[in-house]
Chain A
């Protein structure tokens, strides 16, 4: 597959690694960001210096109008989106008895509503062209649950059900929809937990260490490639054996 890949939340962490990987694989990459303009520009520069094409595109992916505008500008500048990676996500942890409605809504909207909005926008041209790949970033938290992450786990489990349903809806049009469930990956999101927590977590991981963003990105690269043409509706767990 070649063409245009749009990665949401691509200014840092796993999203950044995914954008770089897809550029390496030959895609023109749209690097979406919400507020980290400078970081997104740095990702675009890095891709451009390797000789591939990329653009940064600001959009609050919780907002339907912003999502529409994002797809319009990406289509105008790079072409129709062939690969969509719904990566944008946040955590706002708290034990459920203390969790506020705002904490719940923010996480559900950023992680799950955005996935709905971007997928819906991308499918218009994918259905017409009878091809496309949608890759949703879930989490092992959505499979196993995690104390303090009622909101996050619900949003990530929601992504898995969404992935399966949409895979069934659009399979007849040659479009695949898959999810990836990363475990503990070294990003800003997990470094906020502190060394004590990450050391304790590493002991529970079969491979004995946290994962790297590139180790998630390589699976995205595979799912976007011709080699993954017969895989749809799946959730690929990339957790070093954490949930075994």
Chain B
């Protein structure tokens, strides 16, 4: 899967699963501070990533996800590895 494809799929998930405002989603947007995703929302995001991209994200790796771009990076790395 191409990075652009992953990015657009992720943005779709953020709108559909987490109910985020599509206009606010940028690669630099921080989940907690900018997008107001709470701790349970971050867990929902991880479950959505695992279900939709078929990857496993352990808690210690999940901590590296602060922004939308970092979530894309992690999925790209997981699918490449």
> Which residues of A, 170-192, contact B by the 8 Å Cβ criterion?
170, 172-173
Q: Which residues of B contact A170 (CB under 8 A)?
A: 40
* Most-contacted residue by chain A among B38, B40, B44 (CB, 10 A): B40
A173 to B38, CA, bound (A): 11
Q: In the bound complex, do residue A124 and residue B47 qualify as a contact, i.e. CB atoms below 8 Å apart?
A: yes
Q: Give every chain A residue within 8 A of B40 (Cβ-Cβ).
A: 127, 169-170, 172-173
Chain A residues within 8 Å of B17, by CB = 128
Count of residues in B whose CB is under 8 Å from the partner chain: 5
Interface size on A, residues (CB 8 A): 7
CA distance A172 to B44 in the complex (A): 13
Q: Quick one: closest A residue to B51, CB to CB?
A: A124
Tell me the chain B residues, 30-54 only, with Cβ under 8 Å from chain A: 38, 40, 44, 47
Closest to B43 in A: A127
Contact with B along A90-129 (1 / 0, CB 8 A): 0000000000000000000000000000000000100110
Q: Are B38 and A172 in contact (CB under 8 A)?
A: yes
Closest CB in chain B relative to A177 CB, distance in Å? 14
CB distance B38 to A128 under 8 Å? no
Smallest CB gap from B38: residue in A: A172
Distance (Å) between the CB of A139 and the closest chain B CB? 29
Determine the distance from Cα of A242 to Cα of B44 in the docked complex, in whole angstroms: 43
Chain B residues closer than 8 Å to A124, beta-carbon distance: 47
Q: How far is the CA of A185 from the CA of B54 in the complex (A)?
A: 47
Complex CA gap A190/B61 in Å reads 49
Query: Which residues of chain B are within 8 angstroms of A169 by Cβ–Cβ distance?
Result: 40
Instruction: Please encode chain A, from 127 to 141, with 1 for each CB lying within 8 Å of some chain B CB and 0 for all others.
Output: 110000000000000
Residues in chain A near residue B38, CB distance under 8 A: 172
In angstroms, Cα B47 to Cα A170, docked, is 15
- Tell me, rounded to whole Å, the shortest Cβ–Cβ distance linking A143 to chain B: 29
**Residues of A contacting B44 in the complex (Cβ-Cβ under 8 angstroms):** 127-128
Task: Give bound CA distance, A40 to B38, whole Å.
Answer: 41
Q: Which of A5-38 contact B (CB under 8 A)?
A: none
Give A117 Cβ to nearest chain B Cβ, in Å: 17
Q: Find the B residue at minimum CB distance from A130.
A: B19
Q: 1/0 contact trace for B42-77 toward A, CB 8 Å?
A: 001001000000000000000000000000000000
A171 nearest CB neighbor, chain B only: B40
Instruction: For the complex, give the distance between the alpha carbons of A124 and B47 in Å.
Output: 8
B51 → chain A closest CB, angstroms: 9
Q: Tell me, rounded to whole Å, the shortest Cβ–Cβ distance linking B72 to chain A.
A: 22
Q: How far is the CB of A165 from chain B (nearest CB, A)?
A: 13
Chosen A-B contacts, 10 in total, with CB atoms closer than 8 Å, are A124-B47, A127-B40, A127-B44, A128-B17, A128-B44, A169-B40, A170-B40, A172-B38, A172-B40, A173-B40
Nearest 9 interchain pairs by C-beta: A127-B44, A169-B40, A124-B47, A172-B40, A172-B38, A173-B40, A128-B17, A170-B40, A127-B40
Interface residues of A (CB under 8 A from B): 124, 127-128, 169-170, 172-173
